[in-house]
Chains A and B, each alone.
Chain A
Amino acid sequence: MQRADRTPPRAPRPAPASGTRAPQPGASARRLRLRDRFAAGARDHRETAARSLLRLATAPVQSLMTVLVIAIALALPTALYLVVASLQQLAGGLDAGNRLTLYLRQDADPKAIDGLLAQLREHAGVSAVQFISAEQGLAEFKASSGFGDALDLLDRNPLPPVAVVTARDQPGAAALTALADEFAKLPPVDEVQVDTQWVARVNAIAAIGRQAALALAAVLALGVLLIVGNTIRLAIENCREEILVVKLVGGTDAFARRPFLYMGFWYGLGGGILSWIMVAAGRWWLHYPVDRLAALYQSQWSLARLGLVELLVLAVAAGALGTAGARLAAGRQTREIEP
């Protein structure tokens, strides 16, 4: 205070004095070690994430509504995915179709049939051959169909002798069809039936379902982006002052928008987890009647389960979607709010 700065001659102070004593915050900030900066950054992310979560908790009803909307949007494609997965399971269970049914000519010579059976048993692609003569077939049919009396009225056995061929391993539909074509050329064989066709149909339906689920997921993901984006836009409007202050003290755009990205992340994560719970609850609600229906068909088939992997996928994807939606909204807006 004794210095009179208004008197020009005394004004230039010795450089060393100010040079050594002046605090150099810019320089010291730069001198912060990289590891410390990372540690500080990580701590800041943790604090920001926690604060964003707390902020959502201060308006629980509103936050819950947003999370619910996101959850419903995500639950639709997830449910469709579950249906498709169940269909594929159904088709997969039947894909054990490694059997060919060879209907032989009714007039085939027993010797020719024996020769055919021997030939089939030696075939490299065949693991087992079961022969059902016309008489055996008729007896079985009488026993199982309940048409016994009616069949007695027939003057001759209408059933052909049958050779049931089990292919080696699981050859797949194409190889099985090739095998069928090969056997169809053998003389005593009248017709070969491959039971792959309706498996193919179920698979085709599942493929359509999968495509539809993907399209629905894409559309609804866009919806989630917009929902989160709009919510974040409002949140930013309410936090104008905070962004201004952060920028006034030297915060970057990235620093200013970080709390909002976390807010979007939490919205997405909450929505993802809730959608999993919704679909899991729906599955639980449906699986008794479905199991009963399957039991009527003597099938072990049941609705596909929504597991922890699906939970993880949903949570991560929804969290990423929420963050992306927030980024879209916050990017321009935080840039435009200038002190």
Chain B
Amino acid sequence: MIRFDQVCKRYPGGHDALSGVSFALRAGEFAFLTGHSGAGKSSLLRLIMLLERPTQGQILINGRSLGRLHRSQIPHYRRNIGVVFQNHHLLLDRSIHDNVALPLRVSGYRASDVARRVRAALDKVGLLAREHSKPLELSSGEQQRVGIARAVVHTPRILLADEPTGNLDPELSMEIMKLFSDFSDIGVTVLIATHDIGLIEAMGRRQLQLRNGRLVAGSDADAAG
């Protein structure tokens, strides 16, 4: 589903965020992306989301090279990806419901489908009762869960998360991980960038470890892709 082939990303100024990264994730695979801050985790996620283009190498998503995607196709491509952001990225002037509905609205879902899916997604993260609240009325952990609901509401084929459990207590973190794991069970490819060693060990899933922009562990599962 996701394949990196000798991908390098050099930022203006000569800083190499990623160099020679190669790995593959199958459809439905669940993997953690680890490494110190600055190791390139965020850059890797940004490349998958096409927020940036690689300097070298190529990225194949579902067998399709991202380098070939025209600018106008990017929005349609992104609709297949759900992303949980570290800083939530919620719209503060809209209700929780409207925030979660946004990915459905940009794709043109029917009103009845939108309502049903939003409620299902909010139910999964335990926030159905807060549907009509505004983001600022929620705690940081709850906002994080709204972000998760928004990332999964359109059942994307790929789910990316950048420190999704940073603001959650261990028990809730485990529940969210279970939720991500359920998604991978129905075929969603899940890639989670995190520092939470305890969580990674508890889950026992594949680990892609980055150090100074190089993949130092986890790429050996390549044969699987």
Contacts and interface: CB of A to CB of B under 8 A. Distances in A.
A289 interface: no
A248 B89 contact: yes
A250 B156 CA distance: 11
B107 interface: yes
Contacts of A118: none
B187 A5 contact: no
Interface stretch (A6-14, A88-96, A274-282, A293-301): A6-14
Interface stretch (B11-19, B21-29, B136-144): B21-29
A282 B207 CA distance: 76
Contact of A8 (B30, B90, B220): B220
B106 A8 contact: no
B157 A245 contact: no
Nearest to B150: A249
Interface in B167-207: 181, 186-188, 203-207
B91 interface: yes
B56 interface: no
B126 interface: no
Interface in A1-36: 1, 4-6, 8, 11-13, 18, 21-26, 29, 32, 36
Interface in B144-162: 150, 154-157
Interface stretch (A38-46, A73-81, A131-139): A38-46
Interface residues of B, number: 48
Contacts, number: 121
Contacts of B79: 25-26, 29, 249-250
A105 interface: no
B102 interface: yes
Contacts of B80: 25-26
Contact of A40 (B51, B81, B108, B205): B108
B181 A1 contact: yes
Contacts of A37: 108
Given A245-B91, A250-B75, A5 B110 contact: no
Given A11-B224, A25-B79, A26-B79, A245 B102 contact: yes
A75 B156 CA distance: 53
A44 B105 CA distance: 7
A255 interface: yes
A24 B157 contact: yes
Nearest to A37: B108
Contacts of B77: 250
B54 interface: no
Binding site secondary structure of chain A: helix
B30 A5 contact: yes
Contacts of A249: 78-79, 83, 102-103, 106, 150
B51 to A, nearest CB: 5
A273 to B, nearest CB: 27
Contacts of B91: 241-242, 245
Contact of A1 (B89, B154, B203): B203
B51 A22 contact: no
Interface string A26-68: 1001001000110111011000000000000000000000000
A36 B114 CA distance: 12
B93 to A, nearest CB: 8
A110 interface: no
Contacts of A122: none
A283 interface: no
Interface in A230-272: 241-242, 244-253, 255
Contacts of B27: 18, 22
B129 interface: no
A307 interface: no
A146 interface: no
A40 B111 contact: yes
B78 A40 contact: no
B76 interface: yes
Interface of B: 26-31, 49, 51, 72, 75-81, 83, 85, 89-91, 102-103, 105-111, 150, 154-157, 181, 186-188, 203-207, 220-221, 223-224
Given A5-B206, A23-B188, A44-B108, 6 more contacts: A11-B221, A29-B108, A44-B105, A250-B81, A251-B102, A255-B106
27 contacts: A4-B204, A5-B29, A8-B220, A11-B223, A12-B224, A18-B26, A22-B27, A23-B157, A25-B79, A26-B76, A26-B79, A32-B110, A37-B108, A39-B110, A43-B111, A241-B89, A241-B91, A245-B90, A245-B102, A246-B102, A247-B75, A249-B78, A249-B79, A250-B78, A253-B75, A338-B51, A339-B49
